[in-house]
Structure 1
Amino acid sequence: MPGRTSKDAPSFSGHTKDLCDFFTQFEDLTDSCGLTTTEKCRAVLRYVDSDTRELWVSFPEFETADYDDLKTRIIDEYPGADRGAQYTYHDLENIVLHHVDHDILTETEFVEYSHKFRPVATWLVKNRKISE
């Protein structure tokens, strides 16, 4: 298993919307390493910050060392985590307003703006929060 700061290590940002992606990356890694359920319970703590680690260790599911139960409990503690990324009109507005004050002068700046704007706008249209 890679160290916490390794470029190959999964990392949980602490944001609810990133939790399921974190678990996918973590499980891909642990499956390739052949970790047992008990080993997974301990290993998952390596890739979170100290506050998150303290919370997760406090769950009874950590003590029973059943990874699937622990994962279920963790996801339950982060309402909406199982739905992944969710955005609001306000999120899109913030991206646009930030760039109103900062001219886009190069292709690189445009690409960076587009990479921030597109996922939010696409999600909002797809989920009928805004129209095209």
Structure 2
Amino acid sequence: MPAPGSSKAPTKFTGEAQDLKDFIEEFEDCADVQELTDEEKVKMVIKYTDRETMHYWKTLDAYARKNWGALKKDLLEAYPGAEKGHRFSVLGLRKLAQRQARKRIASENDLVKYYQQFRVMSTALKADNKLTDNE
């Protein structure tokens, strides 16, 4: 596995629930390239976390059993919202729209940036049934 912090290493996980799902996917991609066993994945994954997170993950039963599938499941359950990979609210979407309404869109790039932010948030909220097509 690439050394933590190197350009080919997974981005370090710092304990934020909304980042966990992406972290696990990135870690698994690297681990698959290296052809790691489940036991090796369990041993290596903590090297890409901060110290506090590492100590917590070591307390999980699946870590002691060296069972990657179970550890991944336990981790996603241990961090509320991690399975969704985001934390968006309808209020947050409204604030984005209001903030943009006060700004002038000076270029196509500004418009594209706003559209991308709006689409990411609205798509996630629709998937969570927090927003309808009419809203």
* TM-score interval, smaller chain: 0.7 to 0.9
| 1:118 alignment partner, SS class | helix
Corresponding letter in the other structure for 2:117: K
Matched, 1:54 2:55: yes
- Matched residue, 2:133: 131
Unaligned runs of 5+ in 1: none
Using the TM superposition, give the Cα deviation of residue 101 of structure 1 relative to its aligned residue in structure 2, in angstroms. 4.1
Q: Distance in 2 between matches of 1:57 and 1:63?
A: 7
Q: Which moved more, 1:94-103 or 1:39-48?
A: 94-103
How far apart are the structure 1 equivalents of 2:52 and 2:115? Answer: 34
Using structure 2 for the length normalisation, give the TM-score.
Answer: 0.78
Query: Counterparts of 1:74-89 in structure 2 under 5 Å?
Result: 74-85=75-86, 87-89=88-90
Q: CA RMSD in A?
A: 2.3
Counterpart in 1 of 2:2?
Answer: 2
User: Structure 2 matches for 1:1-132, cutoff 5 A?
Assistant: 1-11=1-11, 12=13, 14-85=15-86, 87-126=88-127, 127=129, 129-132=131-134
- Looking at structure 2, the residues matched to 110 and 7 of structure 1 have their Cα atoms a distance apart, in angstroms, of 31
Amino acid at match of 1:58: T
Question: 1:44-102 deviations in whole A, cap 9, x for unaligned?
Answer: 11222222222212223222222222212111101332334353211202222332444
| Percent of paired sites with the same residue | 31
Q: Which runs of 5+ in 2 are unaligned?
A: none
Q: Tell me, what secondary structure is at the counterpart of 1:27?
A: helix
CA contact (8 A) 1:87 1:123 kept: yes
62-71 or 120-129: bigger deviation: 120-129
CA contact (8 A) 1:88 1:124 kept: yes
